[in-house]
Amino acid sequence: MERGGYEYGAAALVLQAMLLSGCDSEPATPALVAVNEAAPAPTTPVPVAGEERLVLAFGDSLYAGYGLQRGQSLPDAVQARLRAQGINAKIVNAGVSGDTSAAGRQRLAFSLNNLPRTPDLVLLGLGGNDVLRQISPAETRANMGAMLAELQKRGIPVMLTGMVAPPNLGPDFAKAFNSIWPDLAAQYDAALYPFILDGVISNPALMQRDHVHPTAQGVARIADRVAPLVAKQLTED
């Protein structure tokens, strides 16, 4: 997601609606940046062992770490937690602020082809900018489905981090939009974390001033919940 012009104004309305309802439950040139392995872990680390597990974090500004210092993004935080558990994980951050699902669909193959090898897992987190721009849920579904089909064709496991629509967009829009992630997760046998900002968006202390992006503390809260799911995916072989 991005701050500026229409997107920021819409974002404020979206997040206000989410908060009131009690919900708690232009694309840049893509760059593949290895996550800072020195990111602090929340527990006493154990020795990292085993074959390296490569993860691609593919999403928008919620992955890119908008408004945060280097090393504070969600992929950084998840990697730190995995390595603290002794999992030899390397997460490549391919988050691009402002990306819609359509933009992600256009660059997915490029991102995969420019990795040193096929990743062991892809974290897929797009859709926030779609709802801010009120893009048709049918279009979002088609784009997300196309990305999942591409990953399935390449034999790459996926974990989705989902998004939800605010009630002020109406029940029909919300029903069509919110069902995208559970439906596609079931169809493509992907792991699912239903709402990436769950437990964070309703707490102003965990959100930046724009009310759209989490603070470093908010990212840590998300990572505490997401990292165990990622660990399960990487150790299920």
Identity of the residue numbered 151: L
Catalytic site includes residue 210? yes
Q: In this structure, what is the dihedral angle of CA atoms 189, 190, 194, 196, given to the nearest 10 degrees?
A: -170
* Catalytic residue of the set 60, 61, 73, 202: 61
**How far apart are the C-alpha atoms of 75 and 77, rounded to whole Å?**
5
* Catalytic residue of the set 73, 130, 198, 213: 213
Identify whether the C-beta of residue 162 lies closer than 8 Å to the C-beta of residue 195: yes
Identity of the residue numbered 49: A
Instruction: Annotate 32-61 with b (16+ C-beta within 10 A) or e (fewer).
Output: bbebeeebebeeeeeeeeeeebbbbbbbbb
DSSP 127: -
* Catalytic residue of the set 21, 24, 210, 224: 210
Residue 185: count other Cβ atoms within 10 Å of its Cβ.
19
Catalytic site includes residue 224? no
Catalytic site includes residue 213? yes
- Residues with a catalytic annotation lie at 61, 210, 213
